[in-house]
Structure 1
Amino acid sequence: MELEELYALMERFARSGLTDLEWEREGEKIALRCAPAPVVVSAPAAAPAAQAAPAQAEAAAPAAPAAQEQGETVNAPLVGTFYAAPAPGEEAFAAPGKQVKKGETLCLIEAMKMMSEIPAPADCVVEEVLARDGEAVGFGEPLLRIRRV
């Protein structure tokens, strides 16, 4: 296997959301493994600045509103295929600007022929759909950005 082919395989593996891949061709065997991405709970951007020097704290202060504008994300609880609607051509569960109640379905993830509904963690407004319909998502990957109400 040429180096370019190996790099292309590694790149596709990284984007796939898979955690293990074994590839064998013409006597060559490659095994790729990675741990699933951890679920990250983001803290306010100003928290690390409290330990920084005063000049750095002043520089970090304008970043705090931007972090708040990002909102909270709903992350993929499993690896699979993201679906924004119950079926092709139907209305999306949660379009940007839509207000949803806690427990309402925001989207679906299909894994191993099983559909898993992803519920709203709280009463919220969907700010943005981050995942693309019909594409693979990895564990912990942000699916939607929401704002609690």
Structure 2
Amino acid sequence: MVKAEETFYLVRGDFLPEAMRKTLEVKAQLERGKASSVFEAVKEVGLSRSAFYKYRDAVFPFQAIQQTRIITLFFHLEDRSGTLSKLLDTVAQAGGNILTIHQTIPVNGKANVTLSLDVERLNIELDGLINKLKKQEFIERVDILSSGA
């Protein structure tokens, strides 16, 4: 069972209590070097030091907790039995976590597949995975559409 203090929620900023929003402002000022100390930062945003220390380890900006490296790949595949399965297996064997899959209906013996992958835990270099995919005889083309890596 997960303890309440280990559960995370994504909450829109304007629903947070003022002290939590100000805690985020203090953390941002310290990160950017706009304040040289907690005392200076809390004074600037109008927050007590005790409130800052109460919330500092409990509230984070969304970007700070987004630790995954996500990449979106586009494939042009031959329409043969098992090709999608082989593609997904290659990605899984490399340690990629498949987040989304979109496959078009095959036309003229070809299908397009778009995969979004979490590549944080790859057991090979990303370039190595892409090269391995390009070498598959049923894959005609691999393009990187986006990369948060």
Q: Shorter-chain TM-score: what band?
A: under 0.3
Q: If the length of structure 1 is used for normalisation, what is the TM-score?
A: 0.25
Q: Which protein is richer in strand relative to its size?
A: 1
Which structure has the larger Rg over C-alpha atoms? 2
Q: If the length of structure 2 is used for normalisation, what is the TM-score?
A: 0.25
